[in-house]
Homo-oligomer: A and B are copies of this chain.
Amino acid sequence: MPKVGMEPIRKAALVKATIVEIGRVGSLDVTVSQIAKRAGMSSALAHHYFGSKEEIFLAAMRHILSLYGAEVRGALVVASTPRDRLRAIILANFSPGNFRREVIGAWLNFWVLAQTSPQARRLLKIYQGRLRSNLLSALRPIAGSSALDLAEGLGAVIDGVYLREALKSGAPDGKAAAEVALNYLNAQLKGFPS
C-alpha cells in the first residue's frame, strides 16, 4: 500500500485534525491517538512525522497563523486609503475563514500553550507584531501620535472579542463581531479629519 510522497499529505491532515480536535475537546488535553485517528492514521505515524506532540501543536499554530496572515494580506491589497485599510484588517480578522468555532477554540488554547512553550510564545508575538504594525501604518496618517494608543486599544478589542466568542455557543457571527471593533474605530477616529 505505501505510496511515496505521503509526508506533506500526512502532515497537513494531522495539522487539520489537531485544530479540529482542540476545538472539539476545548483544551490541549487531546491525545496524539485522537488526532491521528481523526487524520486517518496510527499514532505512531504522527510521531514519525512530527517527533513530538508539541511539534504537532506548533505546526497547527503556524498553520492558523499563516492562514490568518494570508487573509489579512489579501484584504490589504485591495484597500487604498488608510481608512479602507483599517476596515480591511478588522474584517479580515473576523472573516469566515478565521472566525470559526474550531479556530477560535484553537486560538484560545494557543494562548495557554504560549505560557509554557517559548516557541508558541514566539509565534503569538509574531502575530501581535504583525497586527500592530498593520494597524500602526494605517493609523499614523490619520491619528499621528495617537496612533500607538489606538493600535493598542484596537488590538485589545479584537483579541477580547475572540476570547469572548469562545464562551458563546452556536455558529460565530463574524459580522456582529467585526461591528464591535469597527464601532471602536469610528468612535476613536471621530475627532480626526477624514
Q: List chain A positions with a Cβ less than 8 A from chain B.
A: 25-28, 105, 108-109, 111-112, 114-116, 121, 124-125, 128, 149, 152-153, 155-161, 163-164, 166-167, 179-180, 183-184, 187-188, 190-191
Contact = CB atoms under 8 A, between A and B. Distances in A.
Given A156-B157, A160-B158, A180-B149, A167 B108 contact: no
Contact of A111 (B121, B128, B167): B167
A153 B115 contact: no
Contacts of A108: 111-112, 115
B166 A180 contact: no
B26 A116 contact: yes
Contacts of A149: 179-180, 183
Contacts of A160: 155-161, 163
A51 to B, nearest CB: 20
Contacts of A155: 160, 164
Given A25-B116, A116-B25, A111 B183 contact: no
B153 A27 contact: no
Contact of A167 (B121, B158, B179): B121
Contacts of A124: 167
A163 B153 contact: no
A182 to B, nearest CB: 10
